[in-house]
Structure 1
């Protein structure tokens, strides 16, 4: 684990999304849509900023490495919640697999969040929620990334 853990993700990507349509209602209908994202390093490589664009919304992620604790923190904001920055998730990579945990409130209900990252030339990100304090996890969003030319 190091400030280089997310170096695989720098650049421009096509994003194939598969997401539960109504997460606050804990729905079961999956929707699929495409997006594009660009990730660039900042702060000498110890952080990166991602700008994601889908057809009807935009999101951004800030990831920053904390060398004293040897963890990454990940913050998310989007046009779907104007003026709101989600609480950070915190975690690390081991052997190309990153796991990050945090707490939030979704649809008025406290949830634990988990991000799973699989690094590589075509990375995969998954988001999971736990409504029972982390005893069980429900996957509600999967992103598959493929590089864009240029």
Structure 2
């Protein structure tokens, strides 16, 4: 890719997320149990860009639960993929990254490897429903190398107009 193409791809990636958002979280009470209940809670998020669109950081604030989260996203010029790197104030540790890209349909799909409750899991993040005022993020785990997925966390973003 040329430098111009790199910048175009990078800017298209997560540029939609820059700004301030209200977020509705829905999370399974047990990430590996399809029968577990859903827990819903609000949050706010602020995202800003770096590296002329080839990176960004967001911080999500969940005051009702007493924690914050941070995502660092980096565009790899060589592979044309994004890496998404998550940390939570609950642990102060960086989780293993997921990586992937956006398709022509505007939907982003990102995969990685992690462990949950002592089990190896394949992780999938999906970004969809992207507009000027909305976006949706989903996390799913697979215990069978990606043959089946259990969605265990969703976030519905609505751009804040009062900021």
Q: Normalization by structure 1: what TM-score?
A: 0.94
1:52 equivalent in alignment to 2:52 = no
Deviations 1:18-46 (A, max 9, x none): 11023267761110000000000012221
- The CA RMSD measured in Å over matched residues stands at 1.5
Deviations 1:98-145 (A, max 9, x none): 000000011111000000001223100000000111110000001000
1:93 equivalent in alignment to 2:105 = no
Q: Normalization by structure 2: what TM-score?
A: 0.87
Query: Which segments of structure 1 move beyond 4 Å, counting only runs of 4 or more?
Result: 24-27
Partner residue, 1:2? 9
SS in 2 for 1:3: helix
SS in 2 for 1:6: helix
Tell me if the contact between 2:48 and 2:58 (Cα under 8 Å) persists in the aligned partners. yes
Larger helix proportion of the pair: 2
Q: Highest CA radius of gyration, 1 or 2?
A: 2
Say which of 22, 41, 52 aligns to 2:49. 41
Taking the aligned partners of 1:141 and 1:38, their CA distance within structure 2 comes to: 19
Gaps of 5+ in 2: 1-7
Say which of 121, 127, 131 aligns to 1:120. 131
SS in 1 for 2:41: strand
Tell me if the contact between 1:17 and 1:142 (Cα under 8 Å) persists in the aligned partners. yes
Larger strand proportion of the pair: 1
Taking the aligned partners of 2:23 and 2:61, their CA distance within structure 1 comes to: 9
Tell me if the contact between 2:32 and 2:141 (Cα under 8 Å) persists in the aligned partners. no
1:27 and 1:60, CA in 2 relative to 1: closer, same or farther beyond 3 A?
farther
Partner residue, 1:146? 158
1:24 and 1:139, CA in 2 relative to 1: closer, same or farther beyond 3 A?
closer
How many residues are aligned here? 149
Gaps of 5+ in 1: none
Taking the aligned partners of 1:12 and 1:27, their CA distance within structure 2 comes to: 33
